[in-house]
Amino acid sequence: MKLLVCVSKTPDTTSKISFTPDGSKFNDVGITFIMNPYDEWYALVRALELTEKSGGTVTLVNVGGPDNDQTIRKGLAIGASDAVRIDAEPKSALFIAKQIAEHARGQYYDIIFCGKESIDFNGSEVGAMVAEFLDLPFASYASKLDVSGSTATLEREIEGGVEIVEVAGPFVVSAAKGMAEQRIPNMMGIMKAKSKPFAVVPPVAFPDYAVPVKYTLPKEKTGVKLVPADDMDELVRLLHEEAKVI
Amino acid sequence: MILVFAEAVNGQFKKTAFEAVTYGNKTAQLLGNQCVVLTLGKVNNAGQLGEYGASKVYNVSDANLDSFDSQVYASVIAQAAEKLGAKVIVLAHTSTGKSLLGRLAARLNAGSVAGVKSLPDIAGGSFKVTKGVYSGKATAEYEISSDLKILSLSGNEIRPAKGGGEVAMEELHLTVPSPKTRVLQVKRQEGIVPLPEADVVVSAGRGMKGPEHWGIVEELAKVMGATTACSRPVADADWRPHHEHVGQTGLAIRPNLYVAIGISGAIQHLAGVNQSKVIVVINKDPEAPFFKAADYGVVGDLFEVVPKLTAAMKKFKAG
């Protein structure tokens, strides 16, 4: 099996987010960056499990600058075979998807994995875009993926339940919690990662149609109103009369 | 023309579809344009979408549209957008809408924004919308520069607004490709409002001490007409099903009212819920970080407080 896993770099989940004073850019001072959890914990690990069972390769692809190399190396340390970084500072999802699709075209990957969303822009768009550029089926929010021969069976998370779908032939999948369990790279993996093939290639020209121009933080809550634990009638009254939510 | 794709589940339109049509109608008014709605497959009572502002409702009926395949749906919606001359396409930010948004953007070479939470700002000829970023920790304003704009509308951001009357549904004849995925089974919990659509959510965490105590949470949820949720440690320990997990790596929700019981309020949990309009926190630890993000707080033993709240709610509901 020849598998591709799309990975992105995101701020750590515990990060306190801030922006430059004019609100135009993310303030990365003091921020630890990690591989997007959905890409790492579920997409990458499931891809590795499939190749461990049936043989094959897992290639990582990332669109970003040299500051992404550490994140990509971690993916190699966890077990990916090789990596490609498309050297660009992306501003929009469609640009990223175009770059990944151009890399994947002609490589005939059996499955292209991505996380269900990145935890920075939360768009869930790139997987669907890559699928469309390559005219492939797309199974989104998959919490289970099993492959038997050339047929895959997936469990997709939908509102209030799950949908079980079958796909034949190459496809794109976005991975949700449940597809695999997080793996911690070991020392051997980290050593091996240093000698694995890691290509840096230039991007193809493509416009940005939708870009963030201004960021704002939510207004601080004005302060919690404490209600005595033995007076829940008062809480109900407040929710009804003051907050007007019941 | 603004084209809204109104998604039906088992032929029925839900709140997310009414929200999308309302948004499409308000956007159309801003742009001095018409709001046209497209429905796919077997749908019941599509004429009611006129009440939310659809000037016209089109349907494409074909057996291949009766179950969801993003490739087939995107092809048909793109054909409709081109045929009808859409300037803006509006989807709901549901599992279906999210699977279609990127496909449509790639197919139609257009700018897209996922999870929009405001009407477009068209001052100075630009087209700007806002969406939540960093898992709800911030808001970003996006500018879309392409002629065609494609948006998915975040749930619970726009109240469905009735104004117009029923309209007739018209059949649209387009090419429907064959799906490459096959839906084998759909398992939905019946009778429960899915978390992303719920107005009221009652959520509990490790403070519950074990899955056997969840009865008091479920009883409160029942009397409040709420959907139940849980924190990550609780889902990880299999005390509750994974689909109930809200937070940074679970579902992000924005109900009108979020009641957090025995949840300390780690930053990852807050990321998934802090866009709720009103937050109530019940915790025995007055230092729990969640109180800083709460509107109302109760410091006390949840095993005493929750049944009291349930009783007070029952009294309130009984009027």
At A179-229, the pLDDT tens digits run 999 999 999 999 999 999 999 999 999 999 999 999 999 887 788 999 999
Give me the residue label for tokens 């034949």.
A168
Residue B220's nearest CA partner among B312, B297, B82 is: B312
Q: Which 78-117 residues of chain B touch chain A by CB within 8 A?
A: 94-96, 98-107, 110-115
Q: Which of B11, B132, B28 is nearest to B89 (CA)?
A: B28
* Predicted model pTM: 0.94
Interface with chain A: mutation pick from B67, B91, B98, B104, highest number of A CBs within 10 Å: B98
> Given an 8 Å threshold on Cβ–Cβ distance, is A233 in contact with B133?
no
Residue B134 φ/ψ region, left for φ over 0, alpha for ψ in the -120 to 50 degree band, beta for the rest: left
Any CB–CB contact under 8 A between A173 and chain B?
A: no
- Specify the pLDDT at position B248: 86
The whole-number pLDDT of residue B163 equals: 86
Whether residues B163 and B206 share a domain: the answer is no
**Burial readout A211-246 (b: 16 or more C-beta within 10 A, e: otherwise):** bbebbeeeeeeeebeebebeebbebbebbeeebebb
Residues B32 and B141 in one domain: yes
Binary contact (B182, A93; C-beta < 8 A): no
Residues B26, B93 share a domain: yes
Query: Could you say which architecture CATH assigns to the domain A2-215?
Result: 3-Layer(aba) Sandwich (3.40)
pLDDT band for position B136 (cuts 50, 70, 90): confident
Q: Is A140 in Cβ contact with B99 (below 8 Å)?
A: yes
Mean pLDDT across the stretch B196-202? 94
Does residue B186 belong to any structural domain of this protein? Answer: no
Mean pLDDT of B99-125: 97
Domain check: are B11 and B65 in the same one? yes
Is residue B303 assigned to a domain? Answer: yes
- Residues B47-85 have pLDDT tens digits of 999 999 999 999 999 999 999 999 999 999 999 999 999
Query: What is the C-alpha separation between B292 and B269, in angstroms, rounded?
Result: 13
Which of B171, B203, B226 is where one domain is finished?
Answer: B171
pLDDT over 90 for what percent of chain A? Answer: 93
The structure tokens 């304003």 sit at B141
Residue A58 has pLDDT above 90, yes or no: yes
Q: Is residue B167 part of a domain?
A: yes
Does a structural domain hold residue B311? yes
Band of the pLDDT at B33, cuts 50, 70, 90? very high
Q: Do B199 and B152 belong together in one domain?
A: no
The CATH number of whichever domain residue B74 belongs to comes to: 3.40.50.620
pLDDT value at residue B242: 86
Predicted confidence at residue A54, as pLDDT, reads: 94
Of B69, B66, B105, the C-alpha closest to B89 is B105
Tell me which chain B residue has its CA closest to the CA of residue A228. B298
Residue-wise pLDDT tens digits, A81-136: 999 999 999 999 999 999 999 999 999 999 999 999 999 999 999 999 999 999 99
Q: Which domain holds residue B292?
A: 195-317
B44 touches chain A (CB under 8 A): no
Interatomic CA distance for residues B278 and B275, integer angstroms: 9
C-alpha distance from B131 to closest chain A C-alpha (Å) = 9
Count Cβ atoms below 10 Å from residue A181 Cβ, excluding itself.
10
- In this structure, the answer to whether residues B88 and B121 fall within a common structural domain is yes
Q: Do B103 and A138 touch (CB under 8 A)?
A: yes
Residue B187 lies in a domain: no
**Is B37 within 8 Å of B182 (Cβ atoms)?**
no
Cα B239 to chain centroid distance, Å, stands at 25
* Measured distance between the N- and C-terminal CA atoms of chain B, rounded to whole angstroms: 47
CA distance A196 to chain B (A): 30
Domain check: are B215 and B306 in the same one?
A: yes
- Tell me the C-alpha distance between B295 and B168, whole Å: 45
Which pLDDT belongs to residue A194? 96
Where residue B191 falls among pLDDT bands split at 50, 70, 90?
A: confident
Smallest Cα distance from B117 to chain A, Å: 13
Q: Is the pLDDT reported for residue A6 higher than 80?
A: yes
Best B147, B280, B291, B292 member to test A by mutation, with max A CBs in 10 Å, is B280
Residue B250 has pLDDT above 90, yes or no: no
* pLDDT band at B190; cut points 50, 70, 90: confident
B71 belongs to a structural domain: yes
Query: Smallest CA–CA separation between A57 and chain B, in Å?
Result: 24
Indicate if the pLDDT at residue B223 is higher than 80.
yes
By Cβ distance, the residue of A93, A211, A232 closest to B309 is: A232
Domain membership flag for residue B183: no
Strand partners, B56: B36
Into how many domains does chain B fold?
2
CA distance A131 to A114: 11
* Domain identity same for B244 and B304: yes
Number of H helices, E strands in chain A: 7, 13
Same domain, residue pair B163 and B205: no
A94 touches chain B (CB under 8 A): yes
Same domain, B140 and B10: yes
CATH of the domain at B231: 3.40.50.1220
pLDDT confidence band for B173 (50 / 70 / 90): very high
Element (H, E) at B142: strand B138-144
Question: Do B113 and B205 reside in the same domain of the chain?
Answer: no
